[in-house]
Structures are given as C-alpha cells and as structure tokens.
Amino acid sequence: MGKSVLLLCGDYMEDHEAMVPFQALQAFGIAVDAACPGKKAGDICRTAIHDSAGYQTYTESRGHNFTLNATFDEVDFGKYDGLVIPGGRAPEYLAMNESVLDCVRKFSDSGRPIASVCHGQLILAAANSVKGRKCTAYPAVKPVLIDAGAHWVEPETMKACVADGNIITGATYEGHPEFIQLFVRALGGKITGSDKKILFLCGDFMEDYEVTVPFQSLEALGCHVDAVCPKKKAGDTCPTAVHDFEGDQTYSEKPGHSFTLTASFEGLDASNYDALVIPGGRAPEYLALDETVIALVKEFMHSKKPVASICHGQQILAAAGVLKGRKCTAYPAVKLNVVLGGATWLEPDPIDRCYTDENLVTGAAWPGHPQFVSQLMALLGIRVSF
C-alpha cells in the first residue's frame, strides 16, 4: 500500500516551504493531502515569499496562491504515515489553534514522522512535541524552542536539518533537499539510481516554482544538480517570476525568490551531464536568441540524453530546431512556437498533463511538476520504493 502524508497549511505560509515538499513527495509516489483549518478542498491559501536581501531580517512579498486538496474538518489524522509543517507566518496563528495542536499530538504520540521547517517549529513547541528533542529552526524561533524544552541545535547555515527520532526539523527552504530526503527515509523509502548529474538552464525571470521545485526535488533524490545562466557564474543570482492564475485572461506576474546559480556557464561541458532541465517563465524568450544556449540544447537532444522542458521553455526547443517530428506540449500560448517548430501538438488537458516522447519530457505549467519530475526520473532510472 502506498504512503500518504498530510501537509498542514495556513495563510501566508512560506511559498517554497509549502509547494516544494507538496510536489516533490507526489513525484516520488507519495499521496499528499494539503489542508487548512477553516477551509475546504478547492479553497486557496495565500503564501509569502521570504527572501534575504541584505537587511537584518528577511523581506516578505506575496507568493503564489496555493490550492488545498483536502478539507481539514474531514481529515482522519490516523490514516496518514507522516506530517509536514511549512514555515512562514502561518505557524504564528496555527499554533493557537487547538485542532491543529490535537493533530500534531496525534502524530507525535504515535511516533509517525513529522517534518517541520523554519517557523513551523512554533507549532511543535505549542503541541509540547519537542521536549528533550534536538531541534533546529529559523534562528528567531530559538527562544521558543528552548522554553519548550528542546535541545537547540544552532544552524551553521540556512540549509541545516536535524533528525531526532520521528522529528525532522529544518532551518529554511534552502535545506529542502536534505529535509525531504530525511522525511522520505523516515517513511521507509529507499532511493536508487540517483547517481546522476543534471543541468538546469536558467535565466532572469524564469518562473519561481519551475526552477526551484524540480531543482530541489532532484537534489533530494541525491542527484548532483547544477544551475547555469549565460553571462553569469557560480554564486550569482537570477531573479524569478511568480506566474499565477488569478481569474484574468492570462497569468499574473509578481516578483519571486532570488535563485542562486551553482556553476558557471562559460566553459561548460555538456558531456559531463546526464540530463537537461529547462524552466519556463519569461527567461526563455531571450535565452532562445542566444546561440550558446541553442548549441547546448542541440548537443543534449542530438545525444539523446533526457531533456525536460516546461511551460515557455519549449520556446528554446523550437528556436533550436529540435522539435521537428516530435510530440510535445507546452503552455497553451506557446502552441504557435511548437507547431511552427515542426512538432505534433499535444493538448495539455488538464493543465498538469505532461508527456514523454523518447528522450523528451514536456509539461504545460507548474501544476504538472509531480508528473514532470516523475517522468524525468523514469528516463534517468531513478526510483523511490517503500
């Protein structure tokens, strides 16, 4: 029987800290229910983007709207194998909610895995679930955890994670790869075939989710993942865009997180990598005009290595002339590029539908990440088994 977990949501939870575990775990074959007190399946939670910008504390801006897929009042806490608690500002008020604390205590008392990140540990403290346990968190949560009887572990970096028994804690979303991997292992998962090197082709104002979710998902599996951008080097950042569906005739855009590149584009040797991932957003519009980008994409496609492209990323594939005779999907507005590029158009109905055609995985938009990542995993021979 497959594993299932509960994601405990609230308004203004941190955007990445909700969506990355939600979609990564689904990509690994785990069913995830996202529920929020006072809301039902189909309702949304607002999210917050917390980012470092050189101030004495983090900045906040509006993130994506997160759609719940479960109704909190109808949830049977006993049926889940684990619990995930995102951070952000939501935990401040959720920690005051007795139904939330009752939920957490049920998981804690039964010894089932609980993974909590950033400010989520406020809820663990309120539920009296950290007494005598080693915990980390965003540093501002330290006094509360100490007062709750936890053994505080100072995060040396914002990637820090700590596992103590069934409790897994992380400092921030930067540590998602280890955080998610620890949780999968706590659920009894075994990861095989992940000794792969994967390259992400990045650019300014690529879509926030479309780079971060697959990037951290693949790292969580144990893959070596590099992110590069033309004319930038390792340690530089790319700004990202939040593209969302808010009732207008096309998507809206808001500023996203800053994304840190891990490798330099200049001198890149594509032969060192097993696969290429192309995020969407607005970056592909200008990357498609860069001859070094076109040459890189052609090299991966001609060598038959897996290439996974989502949303507007297919603008680059079309410009590279590698779609002739292929079958693919994309964000519907990119259909013109795909068809003129010589491909057979596959309708993304529903919008989370993804397709694999030989070495090519294509998706229409970020709601399709679970399929998108799992189909790339299949091409690479990566498995998560329980």
Which are the catalytic amino acids? 118-119, 311-312
Positive or negative, the Cα torsion across 122, 123, 127, 131?
negative
User: 265 — alpha (psi -120 to 50), left (phi > 0) or beta?
Assistant: alpha
Please name which of 58, 55, 77, 68 lies closest in space to residue 19, comparing C-alpha atoms. 68
Look at the chain and count its residues. 386
Written as one letter, the residue type at 263 is A
Please name which of 10, 7, 79 lies closest in space to residue 45, comparing C-alpha atoms. 10
Counting Cβ atoms within 10 Å, is residue 4 exposed (0-12), middle (13-18) or buried (19+)? middle
- Compute the radius of gyration of the chain from its Cα atoms: 20
Give CA torsion, residues 21, 27, 31, 32, to 10 deg.
Answer: 20
CA 340 to chain centre: 32
CA angle 106, 111, 115 (to 5 degrees): 85
Q: Which residues contact 144 (CB under 8 A, 6 or more apart)?
A: 121, 122, 125
Q: At what angle do helices 369-380 and 208-221 cross, to 10 degrees?
A: 40
Give CA torsion, residues 68, 106, 221, 122, to 10 deg.
Answer: 80
- Which residue intervals of the chain are DSSP H helices? 15-27, 90-94, 98-110, 121-126, 142-147, 176-186, 208-221, 283-287, 291-302, 314-319, 335-340, 369-380
| Residue 145 contacts residue 137 (beta carbons within 8 Å) | yes
| Residue 273 contacts residue 197 (beta carbons within 8 Å) | yes
